[in-house]
Amino acid sequence: MTQTFNLPIRPRRLRANAAMRRMVRETHLSPADFIYPIFVRHGEGIRQPIPSMPGIAQLSVDEAVKEAGTARALGIPAVILFGIPAEKDPIGLENFAADGIVQQATHAIKKAHPDLLVVTDVCLCEYTDHGHCGIVHGTEISNDETLEVLQRVALSHARAGADIVAPSGMMDGMVGAIRAILDEYNFTGVSILSYAVKYASSYYGPFRDAADGAPKFGDRKTHQMDYGNAREARREVELDLAEGADMIMVKPALAYLDIIRQTADHCPVPVAAYNVSGEYAMVKAAAEKGWLDEKKVVLETLTAIKRAGADIILTYHALDAARWLDSFNE
């Protein structure tokens, strides 16, 4: 004989079937939450696979336009461009050249897909022969000299048609310097998505392969944040907001969900989180081994990032996730 208990509350009623679970779900993921990263390089008809990031490739401008069109068709509102220059030098001259690879790609994508937002990475590491995020003297990065270069880069991207510029080098004062130059040249409508909270993380390894941007000496711990620090993140956010940031980035995402939550709780502007290359590569590698269900893990991970407080998620999974979301009824 089964004993019946008079339980006052039965939470399981709201988990009874897929329709009920969908209806009461607190966090809803959508392709509109994503920004899709694209790596652009010189040439034509090029899709150069990145071995450490299965499914992602370095693309020539014509192929980048196609990839951006795919993202747009899937309901993804924006792409972010990272450039691989033809040549590198101590300050990264192509980074702010009118015919630089990101400038070419920005112009071409906006011409083909005018309603798709183009975000551009504003940093030096992919363009310099030393691989660091700023102007180097000996082994020291000169913060204030770097700001002048970042101004030139951001202005060149705005002239090419960028909707949003995203300074990622963690230089002190970078947002204020960029806002000043954009406003001076009447690009007041160009937004700034600041990598305000970027940690010195080991999860960036595959990206450095993808963008050929690994430092030739030392590391980036003098400007990227120590991963043991949380209160410092709030200070960085407050400084960038005071300088004019329109949106704030936390990077990486998955190992920093607490920082995303903290930032979202106190930040009056949209919060973005970067689901970085190492996070992507780990899922891909495990899926290839058959150790996990890629679709389920990706959607769970992205939902967790949004649940933590991210309004926007930069992710290499964006195209697949957008396709999968239509059938995500669990």
Active site residues: 198, 251
Question: What confidence tier does 212 reach under pLDDT thresholds 50, 70, 90?
Answer: low
HSE-CB for 326 with a 13 A CA cutoff: 6
Q: What's the CA gap between 162 and 178, in Å, rounded?
A: 14
Domain-embedded: residue 3: no
pLDDT in tens, 21-64: 999 999 999 999 999 999 999 999 999 999 999 999 999 999 99
pLDDT of residue 74: 97
- Looking at the DSSP bridge assignments, the partners of residue 58 are 39, 48
Domain-embedded: residue 61: yes
pLDDT higher than threshold 80 for residue 131:
no
Q: How many domains does the chain have?
A: 1
pLDDT higher than threshold 60 for residue 216:
no
**What is the domain extent for residue 315?**
27-325
Domain-embedded: residue 80: yes
Q: What's the CA gap between 159 and 79, in Å, rounded?
A: 17
Q: What's the CA gap between 160 and 260, in Å, rounded?
A: 32
pLDDT of residue 60: 98
Q: What's the CA gap between 238 and 6, in Å, rounded?
A: 52
Domain-embedded: residue 330: no
pLDDT of residue 127: 77
Please compute the mean of the pLDDT values over residues 276-293 and round it to a whole number. 96
Domain-embedded: residue 111: yes
Domain-embedded: residue 86: yes
Please report, for the domain that includes residue 90, its CATH number: 3.20.20.70
**Rounded alpha-carbon distances, angstroms, from residue 175 to 61, 191, 224, 329:** 28, 11, 15, 41
In DSSP notation, 36-70 reads: EEEEEESSSS-EEE-TTSTT-EEE-HHHHHHHHHH
pLDDT in tens, 137-196: 777 888 898 899 999 999 999 999 999 999 988 888 999 999 999 999 999 999 999 999
Give rounded-to-5 percent helix, strand, coil for the chain: 45, 20, 40
Domain-embedded: residue 6: no
Going 159 to 162 to 164 to 168, the CA torsion angle's sign is negative
Q: What is the pTM of this model?
A: 0.93
Domain-embedded: residue 160: yes
